[in-house]
Amino acid sequence: MIANDPYAELERRFGRLSAVNRAAAILNWDRSTMMPEGASEDRADQLATLSVMAHEIMVAADMPELLARAEEGRTTLGVWQAANLREMRHAWTHANALPADLVEARTRATSACEMAWREAKKAADFKRLLPTLGEVVTLTRRVGEAKAAALGLPLYDALLDEYEPGGRSARIDMLFGELRAFLPGLLRDVTERQKRAGAPLELDGPFAVEAQRALGEKLIRAIGFDFTHGRLDVSAHPFTGGTADDVRITTRYDEADFARALMGVLHECGHGLYEAGLPRDWRRQPVGLARGMVLHESQSLLMEMQACRSDAFIAFAAPLMRAAFGRSGPAWEAANIHRLYTRVAPGFIRVDADEVTYPLHIMLRYRLERAILGGDLALADLPGAWNDGMKELLGIVPTDDAVGCLQDIHWPDGAWGYFPTYTLGALAAAQLFAAARKATPGLMDAIGRGDFAPLLAWLRANVHAKGSLVDTDTLLTEATGAALGTAAFKTHLERRYLAQ
């Protein structure tokens, strides 16, 4: 029986779907933070069951007719309702492409692979991961093929479309080509300039984990993270999970280097603020979700790289750092800490990379995942291809698999097609932060006082509150005057690393 008001019925069903997905999000967070290892098989069963439940809601037999009838009455809908209906259709197209058994199999395989990845990384042995990762790749290809047929896209673009609706590899190739045209020369100029200036003074550790945690909490409270609707925990790989009303962010601590955890906390805080700022009236509907991972990564990188590596922020944070660790002296002055936090040098670990070399890490992963999915690179050959790519792009070769092809959780977790959004997010972050500074006189002075309210207000109005009302390029054009491009990022790097 088709409802008299098909759009209202769709909203009801997508509200139920949202509840199932939000429950799964908390279970996923728990799996990565608090779940005992022995519970992994049971958790995989729980998550697989929820994924099938969500899939069944989405692909109910009457959904095509409901969507068609609602679309016939589109002219009677408001702007947000019409956008919501568009997002419903997009979500349904992705879901309807997959049979339930494939949805369940992928969830079980990625759950098993994530647990195997933890052990393989500890042992720095990719061969331990190969069987379970091979299963994930096989299932990912099946998913990609099914979605490619439904969407009329190449396999990789169909997977990319899960993370960035409308994202296409041809656009990525163009933007990455522009970055490759100037990044090597910029990297050379920056490293030569920093070599002439001499090395900054190193901060003397060790740094107690509890002191690091307290400092991170203090700083993200200042930025605007609401601990009545969120948590900060520890995981093997930093991430943001949970829901818009219950934001779960994580980091990992290193007693020898507190910057690794702190910058991870600031990065995830940017993600968390985006989730918490999504339109409250629509956050249980598709239009109320984040637009895509390009904007999501723009919010984390805007906070971590654009705002919190600025000299203004470091001037605010340096006294808090000294107090947190009971340190003093020239190394702990703001100017030296700023030099440390903007030091450019090729390194093995993506999440610790500086702004100049970070895109090169992403280009490597983008190249490799396309080659693996396309059958041009055997999975067993990934470690060697990874090391060759690191030597080509960054001039260094990983010492073992743990700092090489095992460092990221994304492929074991099934996120194939996700990696490009990191660098696209960095481009968007540069555009958005430049626009925020232009629109908000005194913004950097406020950040220097630890007052993030003006920045957060601008982001709330121009990014967060928009949800998925418009596509990424439209949102960026409205907020910054231009679609996604490389110009603002290039200008930012030149000003920060060559002009000061």
Q: Domains of the chain: which residue ranges?
A: 6-163, 170-499
d(Cα 240, Cα 29) in Å, to the nearest integer?
8
Strand, coil or helix: what is 250? strand
How many other CB atoms are there within 10 angstroms of residue 129's CB atom? Answer: 25
Q: Is 289 helix (H, G, I), strand (E, B) or coil?
A: coil
Helix axes 420-439, 358-373, angle to 10 degrees: 140
Q: Is the peptide bond before 165 cis (omega within 30 degrees of 0)?
A: no
**Residue 243 φ/ψ, nearest 5 degrees:** -135, 175
Interval 251-289: pLDDT, tens: 999 999 999 999 999 999 999 999 999 999 999 999 999
Residues marked as catalytic: 268
Per DSSP, the three-state class of 257 is coil
Tokens 């060697």, located at residue: 384
DSSP strand pairing (230-234 vs 240-243): unpaired
Q: State the maximum Cα–Cα separation within the chain, in Å, rounded to a whole number.
A: 75
Q: What per-residue confidence (pLDDT) applies to 500?
A: 65
**240-243 and 246-251: which strand pairing?**
antiparallel
The whole-number pLDDT of residue 1 equals 46
The residues pairing with 250 across neighbouring beta strands, listed in sequence order, are: 233
Question: Which tens digits make up the pLDDT trace of 240-256?
Answer: 999 999 999 999 999 99
Is the distance from CB of 94 to CB of 161 less than 8 angstroms? yes
Which residue's structure tokens are 């990934």? Answer: 382
> What's the pLDDT score for residue 236?
84
Interatomic CA distance for residues 234 and 209, integer angstroms: 11
CATH architecture of the domain with residue range 170-499: Orthogonal Bundle (1.10)
Backbone angles phi, psi at 468, to 5 degrees: -110, 30
pTM of the model: 0.94
Tell me the per-residue pLDDT of 436-463, one tens digit each, with 9 for 90 and over.
999 999 999 999 999 999 999 999 999 9
What distance in Å separates the CA atoms of residue 289 and residue 283, rounded to the nearest whole number?
A: 6
Low-confidence ranges of the chain (pLDDT < 50): 1
Residue 259 in contact with residue 340, Cβ under 8 Å? yes
